[in-house]
Amino acid sequence: MNSRHIMAAFPAATDAQVTLANWRQHPFSEWAFRNVRELLPTANIARSPTPTSLTFAQCYLEDVTFANPRGDTIGLGEALRTSHTDGIVVSHRGRVVFEWYANGLTPDTAHLVFSVSKSVAGTLGGILADIGKLDVDAPVTRYIPEMNGSVYGDGCTVRHLLDMSVGIRFDEDYMARAGDVINYRRSTGWEPPDASIPPIHLRQYLQTLRPDGTPHGHTFHYVSTNTDVLGWVYERACGLSYAKILSNYLWQPMGAEHDAYITVDSHGAARVAGGISATLRDLARLGEMMRNNGVSNGRQVVPGWWIDDIRCNGNAGAWSRGDLTKVFPNGNYRSKWYTIERGQPPFAAIGIHGQWVYIDPANDMVIARVSSQPLPMDLDLDHMWLRGYRAIASRLAGKS
Amino acid sequence: MNSRHIMAAFPAATDAQVTLANWRQHPFSEWAFRNVRELLPTANIARSPTPTSLTFAQCYLEDVTFANPRGDTIGLGEALRTSHTDGIVVSHRGRVVFEWYANGLTPDTAHLVFSVSKSVAGTLGGILADIGKLDVDAPVTRYIPEMNGSVYGDGCTVRHLLDMSVGIRFDEDYMARAGDVINYRRSTGWEPPDASIPPIHLRQYLQTLRPDGTPHGHTFHYVSTNTDVLGWVYERACGLSYAKILSNYLWQPMGAEHDAYITVDSHGAARVAGGISATLRDLARLGEMMRNNGVSNGRQVVPGWWIDDIRCNGNAGAWSRGDLTKVFPNGNYRSKWYTIERGQPPFAAIGIHGQWVYIDPANDMVIARVSSQPLPMDLDLDHMWLRGYRAIASRLAGKS
């Protein structure tokens, strides 16, 4: 199947038709990840009427080299073309120095960012905390009394949601054919209708989740539903839908150039943990804002103390007891952002199938990359791209 | 149920929750008709990067009077407030003279226009015919061979689709609880999932439709599916999705200020006949362009001959033998636009639940109005508003 033929006829050929039954499988995903709105109901996240302008200063970077998963040296151009990357924007000292699009993506096309959505939610949390709308140390039940009786009612605070340290029984196995992840996705509308299962919507499903016996705050346990609960907390705190909160407090103040959007379930609940689609340039603006300590377009959009806290106050012990030490052995996680290597500046938002916003403050560099990698988790590609990001940073530093 | 409470909490109260099961029922429809994107998958219809600017010259029109359905004289203000109107824009001599929004609608909010979508499709047909992409006299099967065996294969031409003169067996009864309209809506995704019925998508469903024995071209028979077939013809003629065709050839050239969108089924087929949501100001731009013989922003977007043909060449005999003589006894229909009264200039795009683009060239007036009238068809309200439009035209003419 040549991916250019996907959805290219009316109707598409049988093996080129994207539906809810195949949309996250490659090669269907290439079309699907930039057309989520045509597959699912979505809520709009309105752009700014006065977008933050980008400046461009093109650098030739295609010959930056790094090791591929087999240990061979390849250039950036080859890496992009062979890793299912759909697009990348590199900014250095606030200017876009490299931009590349493939597989139908364009500067105007929003792409699904999966769990980069979580970092967006974590960033929004700092904004709401700073203006007093959100108490991150409050129990979740202060905002959502319905959570009494669930894992989120048992002493669980907003901070535990932010830091993925809820003691929850949930197996976040993206390859599973049944169980937690499937039940969860079904509640968000991401699975095709299944007549044999009684329908349950997201906010109902979240109330069914139960503890695993681990004390909250003890262990980094990566579970998407925590972030959906967080978004629900924001809705109760603000009296607005998640999409409106995100637009009003972050997307517009940041100066986004394009509308973003987020998938919603049958009852209007946003898939806060992974449902945002946005353009690469707006992801680059997000990264630049984080690099600039929360300032975008001359305006303090995210409080600087929140970003300092993200970069300094992750719980290393919780991380080392947690799920993702195979990905980043000495990493950390705070307010839904990853520190790649404790004690070093780079931090990142990361989503499955190859979505990244990588921020390297020491090298004044931001990289936004979106992809349709066939595997949800692909450590070989993740580590290749980390090498790639570092090689790009070195090249740019050498040029300064 | 106060409609302001609909979808206002997280989750909404049980009697304030909009879902696919209630979205077209009042009062849920008030929220739903301006939030279709949160209920269904949609394809974007991109705005122009250089929108046609509107000029404003406010007139006080609220005291324009006309008869309500009981024969009492009421003012425009009262009529708007008591007829489930969500918004109206009146333009005179190319300037917006009156603008009014209610029930959460704003100048930036797209509203479902139902069968006004058909007139958009009819307008687009003229553009495609003029550049040679579409032969309106060709049989449908030249574009869609799969239609052989259906009513659309039996000598049915594109012109028959445009003029609603297909001899089709189909009962367009919006109040039916089963039968043609329900089966059709289900294929478009507009009905909630029903596990007891095998799923069928729109392009499959269209192939199942059969003749009723009437020769094509003989009788005006208002059947929505004709317009969905027309959109499919355009897709085959252009090799693009309907939303892209509409954006490329009409929405952008016209200078639309806002993205519009159209609902799509499980396989990406647009509900061409009734699935567009657009802002009132862009509907006013559409109306102004039609009034100006196809010119928008100084550019001939729709060929003038196509609009002349719409206004002059409807088949009066077909109309008088047809479905809607109760609505407009001496009306006409051509390329999906209504002539209200044969021999008189006003023509219109009309959708159920109170959607109108009313064009009165003799009085240099355009009215775009969107509503959430509880009944799909409400002749009393339709006729009241026709009196209202004429009264507004008289007032504006008197002011000139």
**Confidence (pLDDT) at B71:** 97
Total count of domains within chain A: 2
Q: What is the mean pLDDT of chain A?
A: 96
For residue B92, the domain's CATH number is 3.40.710.10
Mark whether B24 and B51 lie in a shared domain. Answer: no
CB contact under 8 Å between B40 and A41, yes or no, is yes
Please identify every residue of B annotated as catalytic: 115
Mark whether A18 and A116 lie in a shared domain. Answer: no
Q: Which two tokens stand for residue B80?
A: 């708007």
Mark whether B253 and B240 lie in a shared domain. Answer: yes
Mark whether A312 and A327 lie in a shared domain. Answer: yes
Give the structural domain span for A347.
Answer: 35-132+241-399
Mark whether A245 and A319 lie in a shared domain. Answer: yes
Least confident range of A88-102, A103-117, B190-204, B327-341: B190-204
Q: Report the alpha-carbon distance of residue B392 to residue B356 in Å, rounded.
A: 15
**Confidence (pLDDT) at B111:** 98
pLDDT in tens, A56-74: 999 999 999 999 999 999 9
Partners of B246 on chain A (C-beta within 8 Å) are: none
Of all residues in chain B, the one with the smallest CA distance to A193 is B193
Residue A116 pLDDT class (50, 70, 90 cuts): very high
Mark whether B159 and B22 lie in a shared domain. Answer: no
CB contact under 8 Å between A203 and B10, yes or no, is yes
Please check whether residue A268 touches B, CB under 8 A: yes
What values do phi and psi take at A119, rounded to 5? Answer: -65, -35
- Shortest distance between the Cα of A328 and any Cα of chain B, in A, equals 36
Burial class (CB in 10 A: 0-12, 13-18, 19+), A383: middle
**Confidence (pLDDT) at A3:** 72
- Shortest distance between the Cα of B219 and any Cα of chain A, in A, equals 30
Mark whether B133 and B28 lie in a shared domain. Answer: no
Please check whether residue B269 touches A, CB under 8 A: yes
Mark whether B168 and B27 lie in a shared domain. Answer: no
Please check whether residue B37 touches A, CB under 8 A: yes
Partners of A269 on chain B (C-beta within 8 Å) are: 10-11
Please check whether residue B268 touches A, CB under 8 A: yes
Mean pLDDT to the nearest integer, B366-382:
98
Residue A400 has pLDDT above 90, yes or no: no
- Shortest distance between the Cα of A63 and any Cα of chain B, in A, equals 35
Mark whether A250 and A322 lie in a shared domain. Answer: yes
Strands B365-371 and B355-360: antiparallel
ipTM at complex level: 0.95
Is A152 inside a domain boundary?
no
Mark whether B26 and B38 lie in a shared domain. Answer: no
Task: Transcribe A355-391 into DSSP letters.
Answer: EEEEEEGGGTEEEEEEE--SSS--HHHHHHHHHHHHH
Residue B156 has pLDDT above 50, yes or no: yes
Please identify every residue of A annotated as catalytic: 115
CB contact under 8 Å between A37 and B39, yes or no, is no
Mark whether B25 and B123 lie in a shared domain. Answer: no
Beta bridge partners of B42: B263
pLDDT in tens, B295-341: 999 999 999 999 999 999 999 999 999 999 999 999 999 999 999 99
CB contact under 8 Å between B43 and A43, yes or no, is no
Is A200 inside a domain boundary?
no
Is A277 inside a domain boundary?
yes
Please check whether residue A238 touches B, CB under 8 A: no
Partners of B234 on chain A (C-beta within 8 Å) are: none
Give me the total of CB pairs closer than 8 Å, taking one residue from chain A and one from chain B: 73
Mark whether A259 and A380 lie in a shared domain. Answer: yes
Peptide bond into B303 cis (omega under 30): no
Strands B55-56 and B95-101: parallel
Is A369 inside a domain boundary?
yes
